[in-house]
Amino acid sequence: MKADQFQAPDYYNLDELLSDEHKMVRDAAREWVKREVSPIIEEAAQKAEFPKQLIKGLAEIGAFGPYIPEEYGGAGLDQISYGLIMQEIERGDSGVRSTASVQSSLVMYPIFKYGTEEQKKKYLPKLASGEMMGCFGLTEPDHGSNPGGMTTNFKDKGDYYLLNGAKMWISNATFADIAIVWAKDEEGRIHGLIVERGMEGFTTPETHNKWSLRASATGELVFNNVKVPKENLMPEKSGLGAPLGCLDSARYGIAWGAIGAAMDCYDTALRYAKEREQFGKPIASFQLQQKKLAEMITEITKAQLLAWRLGVMRNEGTATSAQISMAKRNNVAMAINIAREARQILGGMGITGEYSIMRHSMNLESVITYEGTHDIHLLITGLDITGIPAFQ
């Protein structure tokens, strides 16, 4: 892969909206990605392997639980810093950002929000340091966009809960030490359970042959009469709102992360267009190529403003789930469109692993589908503005 020459676009001087701490956190993540991720990520993606050697560094830049309080091992940062870290990691690769998102928003967040004090003390510091890794099991083979229909269930056996069922498409499944599993009790109410690797009857087969998020490990979670200790149930929230609360946090991070992937594609295409000559001139001098590049920077700038404003509202505690849906949907679509256009600017070179664009493009095909598909987020906006659900 080509040396990482990334220069971040900031067309509207958005840096002026950031505090010194935001910039320090962002710059540390940016440097780390350049040093540790860029040199190895293409090979990891080609081999379809999650680069586990990045776990320690991810923890050091605060990517595991950025906004979890320091008393539990988190970085105690605000929502803008969290977003900026996700942006920088996804600038490197969406798969690596997925690992960080799952660990922070889908494993640490539910333990922090819905767990007991004992659970917080037992798991959070180890998850923050990367000593322990987690995954999040909501999606099932027959229930994706409609997770409320899940059939994974547990029965109260007096001394323990007996868990049965299966989850699929689970990021980090193959190496996670713990899984946050959403399952129904005997009354059909959804609860979160902390299932540990090694519990009898719990297996995590890998999902092979992906063309997308190849540097992220994806797998199934299979529960065959797993005896889960009663103290592993997270008691503070139940119902579908509990997993959806985690998804709000993760989707917010994705809204920022997608900007990182888009920035990388734009920056690569701009540099290439200025250097590559055809018909005796740089291809950047042709109007058709300028149109592509001008539209890219316009869309990136709009997405940056959307994410920043959402971050301010998240800090104030006023951002709604529907507002988060809008940003996730818009920014991921923006990024995937930019990746496709940027790929064309590189001509044949665009399809090779010499450049990051094709990898970003393929990765974003998962990002536009997971954590609520593009269409489902549109229906959430539709419901919010009309008051009428159009899901069924």
Residue numbers at the binding site for ligand FAD (CB under 6 A)? 102, 135-139, 144-145, 169-171, 213, 218, 366, 369-371, 373, 375-376, 379, 391
Please tell me the distance from the alpha carbon of residue 44 to that of residue 39, in angstroms, as a whole number. 10
Nearer to ligand FAD, 145 or 320 (CB): 145
Instruction: Give the shortest CB-375-to-ligand FAD separation in angstroms.
Output: 3
CA-CA distance, 9 to 164, in Å (whole number)? 49
Structure tokens at 392: 């069924």
Cα–Cα distances (Å) from 207 to 146, 149, 200, 303, 370, in that order, read 21, 23, 21, 32, 15
Report d(CA 284, CA 287) in Å as an integer.
Answer: 8
Nearer CB in complex with ligand FAD: 204/289: 204
CA atoms within 13 A on the CB side of 179: 31
Kindly provide the b/e burial profile for residues 224-256, where b requires at least 16 CB atoms within 10 angstroms of the residue's own CB.
Answer: eebebeeebbbeebbeeebbbbbbbbbbbbbbb
Q: Least distance to ligand FAD from the beta carbon of 371, Å?
A: 6
What distance in Å separates the CA atoms of residue 362 and residue 389, rounded to the nearest whole number?
A: 32
Return d(Cα 228, Cα 251) in angstroms, integer: 29
Minimum distance of ligand FAD from residue 188's CB (angstroms)? 19
Shortest separation between residue 53's beta carbon and ligand FAD, angstroms: 21
What is the smallest separation between the CB atom of 214 and ligand FAD, expressed in angstroms? 10
Between 213 and 269, name the residue whose CB sits nearer to ligand FAD.
Answer: 213
| Structural tokens at position 145 | 């966009």
Q: Are 87 and 121 in contact (CB under 8 A)?
A: no
Which of 30/214 has CB closer to ligand FAD? Answer: 214
Residue number with CB closer to ligand FAD (137 or 257): 137
Nearer to ligand FAD, 164 or 285 (CB): 164
Say how many residues make up the chain.
Answer: 392
Active site residue 371: yes
| Rounded alpha-carbon distances, angstroms, from residue 296 to 8, 254, 303, 306 | 13, 19, 11, 15
Phi, psi for residue 220 in degrees, rounded to 5 = -105, 160
Q: Which of 36, 42, 220, 371 is catalytic?
A: 371
Q: How far is the CB of 325 from ligand FAD (least distance, A)?
A: 13
CB 65 within 8 A of CB 127: yes
Beta bridge partners of 165: 223
Kindly list the catalytic residues: 371
